[in-house]
Chains A and B, each alone.
Chain A
Amino acid sequence: MSDPISAVPNSSGRFGEFGGRYVPETLTRALDELAEEYAKARQDPQFQSQLTDLFNTFVGRPSPLYFAERLTEHCGGAEIWLKREDTNHTGAHKINNTLGQALLTLRMGKKRVIAETGAGQHGVATATACARFGLECIVYMGAEDIRRQAPNVFSMKLLGAEVRSVESGSRTLRDAINEAMRDWMSSVETTHYIIGSVVGPHPFPLIVRDFQSIIGQETRQQSLENFGCLPDRVVACVGGGSNAAGMFYPFVDDSDVELLGVEAGGHSDQPGDHASPLSFGEHGILHGSYSYVMQNEDGQTCDVHSISAGLDYPGVGPEHSYWKDTNRVQYTYCQDAEAMDAFDTLTRIEGILPALESSHAIAKAMECARELGPEK
């Protein structure tokens, strides 16, 4: 019998052929140290109970699994349930990962934290975790994202973080990651890099997936409690893919549960107009791991577009590439206009203002509900 689909990555950080570690030698020792410390923390009941306690009392977990009754009626198909990560402290799932990594930072005896952010949610969540534990915090953010996500920049500063504007390249998430990596190249001995998604060199894709898996674990249990079985289909949006990895991972061995990842379709299928590497990209290397990526025939990373800053990224976590190529997860994309429509609908019908990122998943969840029909 073959290994279950959840039995990844291996000790070199490979999810099938994807993942690995493609970084300058300067970072190797810190990545080894992080992998070792995380392996210890994973086995340490005290670490786990500390994190659980923070989840319950600081984040406000578990987050509800909410039956969207009026949205279900509106679509006239299967029941739609929403996992409400927006009810977390700081308003998104990002806090699950930043608290876990802040605890790892303390275990490694480091006092300074750097992070990148796109939409600003990961920046706010990192700044929050750093404030909670008294860590110095520097957040790199593309100048374009600073412009379109001003309220989050304000929050980060209030929380004591320094926000550094990144003016290079497309001035978005990808460039913010480059700058954070460059900072880390010089500061690696005293600084931990809290990467915000399931991307980057090993062990980051593993660590972030594990910390985010609380989303799927709760959803699994709440499904059994609320409707006595597992969901027929689970839908999540995918940029780098941390929320989706956290949601899908606890379900990947349940072969009856269909999983659907939704990428940012931007305004057209033309290169440069979208941010959907799993739908349109190639196998390649970006930011330290081997995965699907939007690149040209020379291996240069392409500019991408999405209306949502959090999905505006040319790469994707290596485990998603593994799930795609093993056919465990289906991936599709949702264009800007559809996402905006879903945003309007959910806001008016359910009284919930979703993030633009999540709106991509909501648009496809509504389609799925219609397709599956009322008995599901």
Chain B
Amino acid sequence: MIIEKFRNNFKKNIFKKFIFFGQNITYGSRISGLTKDIEKIKNTKIYNTQNSENSLVGFGLGLMLNNKNSIYFAKQLDFMLLAFDHFVNTYNYILFRKKIGSFSIITYIVDSGYEGPQSRLHNLQEFSSLSYVDCNYLVFPEDIKINLRKIRQKTFKIYCISQRHARSYFNPTLIRHFKKKDIFQYKKGKSGTIISIGFASYKAYELIQSKKLDVDFYVITNPIQKIPNQILKKIINGKYLYIFDDSRSKVKKLDYIFEYIKTRNKNFKIKTFFRDENISKLYVNNDNYILKI
């Protein structure tokens, strides 16, 4: 399961004196299994805390300012809206300091649907763009393994897991990792290219498998990273490009690809699979957007 792969890789990247904190991390479901067995990680400090999201993010940044390493486990990304002041103001002050610690927030994105307005918040792009925080989708076991290594870096990261797919079994083989771009290639093919952002990768991968598509398949785990030119050049040599993005963001970060391709080949076939932006359908998380393929 994705969540198990996360837990195993997480433990490997923790060194001593890390501080873990968050609500419900040592009781009950332990945030739907996110912090299961966290007490077994040796030489760390754990605080099961009060429900004060804004102050807990400030607390983590205060530790970071004091050159200490910490991780805040939060129930879901929309709770972090309460802490945006810290993402923008506090973090961008701390960046001036020469000696700082590592701070990460690990949370779910509630993409399972039917949670009302909370389901609306599947917008990691905006979080990343406004704050300059290093935001990462944790998608398949191989990219999870690589992205979690960044926990040790002395920076501020947000990691998100899909609530809908946390207990799914996906394990595609990694072909290539474009290091600086957080782009992962999971399939090689000749007929076309599929690029997916974050959790849309699950659906894209299922389609590739079921329809036996002979495509290059790239997964973007950092929502604001740009596709390198070497990939773009390769795309226009194929027959088509499909782009998958199941986020709720109106800011389509891959728009620049259209421009790149259309100026070079007007007849190139690009299809996008975005969520229905009709406001009445925004709260429901069915996959109708993808069935057209």
Indicate whether A and B interact. Answer: no
Using a CB–CB distance below 8 Å, which chain A residues touch chain B? none
